[in-house]
Copies of this chain bind each other. A is one copy, B any other.
Amino acid sequence: MAEAPLESRKLYVRSEDAQKFVEDVLKGNGVSAKNASTVARCLVQADLRGVDTHGINRIPSYMARIQQGALDAAADPVVTKVTPVVGQVDGRNGFGFVAAHAGMKLAIEMAEQFGIGMVSIKHSNHFGMSAWIVQQAIDANMMSLVFTNSSPALPAWGGKSKLMGVSPIACGAPGRDKPFILDMAPSVAARGKIYKAKRREEKIPLDWALDAEGNPTDDPTAALGGVMLPMGGPKGSALAIMMDVFSGVLSGSAFAGHVTGPYDPSKPADVGHFLVAIKPDLFMSLDEFRDRIQYLYERVVGSEKAAGVERIYFPGEIEQLTQAERLKNGIPYVSAEIDALNAEATKVGAAGIIVRDQ
């Protein structure tokens, strides 16, 4: 067989090198060292987990938003306690990662004291992969619910124009070495997967999206000009509306189709989030709770397998296995992605990303 063409050959980057690179680019764009560290950690964690659509490849579009004045790189979120168990975060149009990290931190503190803590976040931006917030809660031995809204990409069921975001429903619970982590878009496929296919000049399956005329398409550019399809028809559509009610309507942020898209630099995104932390050891010891999650894990992965299935996975487990592998071998990128990242470094006089020796 011929060697793979250069542009699709994989280049591997160590996670700590990716972290350092992203921090430098962010700091070069006016982000504080503390916030740069948070944002970089969330982006690199997405790449480690194999959620490539929400990783450091987003840097060029995030930096474009800063440079065009649509996202405030220097903003720090304002955190307010409304009751002993309810907090509010005003993201002040800074990074969603920073607002959500501060929000979950407060939710965890309140849950440690009262069993549950809820934080509503307004005037925020895209916070990337929801699973990192779920993991933040798990690292503090907490269950969580993580909802967000996002820019229109999905029709309400029966509609043909974009209205609701392809916003994931996410949640989690600590276990032994296998936590429960759900992070799931209400579409047949995640929107970022279409951007990734476009970037990599790949076709998409015909059941992911409709083009602008309402016809099925395998062309990512045509799909981005049309609408994503919700999973389960009205069910996926209703989940997307749920995300908008809890994240947008409740918080005072944009909703009902008014969140600005990440690739539209004309105005702030005004994303809303909804975070809840729950103490798992309210009705039993933490040890017993962990045992119960472990038992559930064993029952799920130990199920009698359907024909052709080699292995059954627990929600979040594939990503956890990918993370272990990538921590060891590095994160794979294609050269066009590395070039785009290095172009951002050049703009601010930072060093290029270090690619591992093969």
Q: In this complex, what residue of B is CB-closest to A116? A: B118
Check: A306 CB closer than 8 A to any chain B CB. Answer: yes
B82–A299 contact, CB under 8 A?
no
In whole Å, how far is A62's beta carbon from the nearest beta carbon of chain B? 27
Check: A282 CB closer than 8 A to any chain B CB. Answer: yes
Q: In this complex, what residue of B is CB-closest to A113? A: B83
Check: A86 CB closer than 8 A to any chain B CB. Answer: yes
Check: A30 CB closer than 8 A to any chain B CB. Answer: no
A115–B143 contact, CB under 8 A?
no
Check: A206 CB closer than 8 A to any chain B CB. Answer: no
The answer, among B114, B251, B315, for a CB contact under 8 Å with A83, is: B114
In whole Å, how far is A214's beta carbon from the nearest beta carbon of chain B? 6
Chain copies in the assembly?
Answer: 2
Contact pattern, A 126-143, Cβ under 8 Å of B = 1, otherwise 0:
000000000000000001
**Once bound together, how far apart are the Cα atoms of A303 and B164, in whole Å?**
11
Check: A280 CB closer than 8 A to any chain B CB. Answer: yes
A283–B159 contact, CB under 8 A?
no
**Once bound together, how far apart are the Cα atoms of A299 and B122, in whole Å?**
21
**Once bound together, how far apart are the Cα atoms of A306 and B246, in whole Å?**
27
Check: A242 CB closer than 8 A to any chain B CB. Answer: yes
A231–B235 contact, CB under 8 A?
yes
With most chain B CB atoms within 10 A of its CB, the pick from A88, A118, A235 is A235
A residues engaging B (CB < 8 A)? 82-86, 88, 114-116, 118, 120, 122, 143, 145, 155-161, 163, 169, 171, 173, 180, 182, 184, 188, 214, 231-232, 234-236, 238-239, 241-242, 244-246, 249-252, 255-257, 276, 278, 280, 282-284, 289, 292-293, 295-296, 299-301, 303-307, 309, 311-315
Q: Can you list 7 residue pairs at the A/B interface with Cβ under 8 Å?
A: A82-B282, A85-B85, A158-B309, A158-B311, A159-B300, A184-B235, A231-B231
Query: Which are the 9 A-B pairs with shortest beta-carbon distances?
Result: A159-B303, A231-B232, A86-B115, A158-B312, A160-B306, A158-B309, A256-B299, A238-B315, A83-B115
